[in-house]
A and B are shown apart, each in its own frame.
Chain A
Amino acid sequence: MHHDEGGTVKYMLLINQGEFDVAELSQDELEQIGAEYQAINQTEGVTPGTWMEPPETSTTVRVDNGQTLTTDGPFVSVKEALGGYLFYEADDLDAAIELAARIPASRLGGCVEIRPLKEGY
Chain B
Amino acid sequence: MLAALIGFLGDFDLAEEAAQEAFAIAAERWPVDGTPDNPRAWLVTTARNRAIDRIRRDRTLAAKTALLELPEPTQDEPAETPMPDERLELLFTCCHPALALDAQVALTLRTLGGLTTDEIARAFLVPEPTMAKRLVRAKHKIRAAGIPFRVPPPHLLPERLAAVLAAVYLIFNEGYGGRGDLAGEAIRLGRALAELMPDEPEAHALLALMLLNNARREARFADGSIVLLRDQDRSVWDADEIAEGRGELERALALRGRGPYALQAEIAAHHVDDPPDWTRIAQLYAELARATGSPVVELNRAAAVAEAGNTEAALALAEELDLDDYHYLHATRAELLRRLDRTEDARAAYERALELVHSDAERRFLEQRLAELP
Interface residues of A (CB under 8 A from B): 1-3, 5, 7, 9, 11, 90-94, 96-97, 114, 116, 119-120
| 6 A-B pairs in the complex with CB atoms less than 8 angstroms apart | A1-B11, A1-B146, A2-B146, A3-B66, A3-B146, A94-B148
Q: How far is the CA of A116 from the CA of B98 in the complex (A)?
A: 13
CB < 8 Å neighbour of B66 from A2, A91, A93: A2
Q: Is the CB of A116 within 8 A of B64?
A: no
Q: Which residues of B contact A (CB under 8 A)?
A: 10-11, 64, 66-69, 96, 98, 142-149, 152, 156
Q: How far is the CB of A90 from chain B (nearest CB, A)?
A: 8
Whole-angstrom distance between the alpha carbons of A63 and B148 in the complex? 41
Pick the most buried of A3, A11, A93, A97: most chain B CB atoms within 10 A of its CB: A93
Which residue from chain A places its CB closest to the CB of B147 in the assembled complex? A93
A1 and B66 contacting across the interface, CB-CB below 8 Å: yes
Contacts of A91 in B (CB 8 A): 146, 148
Q: Quick check: A116 and B69 within 8 Å, CB to CB? A: no
Contact B98 A93 (CB under 8 A): yes
Whether the Cβ atoms of A92 and B64 lie closer than 8 Å is: no
Rounded to whole Å, the gap between the CB of A5 and the closest CB of chain B is 5
> Is the pair A5, B146 in contact by a Cβ cutoff of 8 Å?
no
CB distance from B6 to the nearest CB of A (A): 11
Give A2 Cβ to nearest chain B Cβ, in Å: 5
Docked pose: A5 CA to B68 CA in angstroms: 7
Residues of chain A within 8 A of B11, CB atoms compared: 1
State in angstroms the CA–CA spacing of A34 and B143 once bound together: 34
Give the residues in chain B near A96, CB-CB below 8 Å.
Answer: 146
How far, in whole Å, are A1 and B150 apart by their CA atoms in the complex? 12
Q: For B147, what are the chain A residues with a Cβ–Cβ distance below 8 Å?
A: 1, 92-93
Q: Closest A-chain residue to B10, C-beta based?
A: A1
CB distance from B250 to the nearest CB of A (A): 34
Q: A1-B10, A1-B142, A120-B64 are in contact. Are A93 and B148 (CB under 8 A)?
A: yes
List of B residues within 8 angstroms of A94 by Cβ: 148, 152, 156
State whether B146 touches A9 (Cβ < 8 A): yes
With A93-B98, A119-B64, A120-B64 as given contacts, are A2 and B156 in contact (CB-CB < 8 Å)? no
CB-nearest residue of chain B to A115: B145
Q: List, in ascending order, chain B residues with CB within 8 A of A3's CB.
A: 10, 66-67, 146
* Contact indicator A92/B68 (Cβ below 8 Å): no
Complex Cα gap A9–B149 (Å): 14
In the complex, the answer to whether A97 meets B98 with C-beta atoms within 8 Å is: yes
Q: B144–A116 contact, CB under 8 A?
A: yes
**A residues less than 8 Å from B142 (CB atoms):** 1
A2: contacting residue among B69, B96, B145, CB under 8 A:
B145
In the complex, are the beta carbons of B148 and A92 less than 8 A apart?
Answer: yes
List the A side residues contacting B146 at CB < 8 Å.
1-3, 9, 11, 90-93, 96, 116
Given the contacts A116-B144, A120-B64, A1 and B98 also touching, CB distance less than 8 Å: no
Q: How far is the CA of A78 from the CA of B142 in the complex (A)?
A: 31
Chain B residues near A5 (CB, 8 Å)? 68-69
A116 touching B156 by the CB < 8 A rule? no
A91 to B153, CA, bound (A): 14
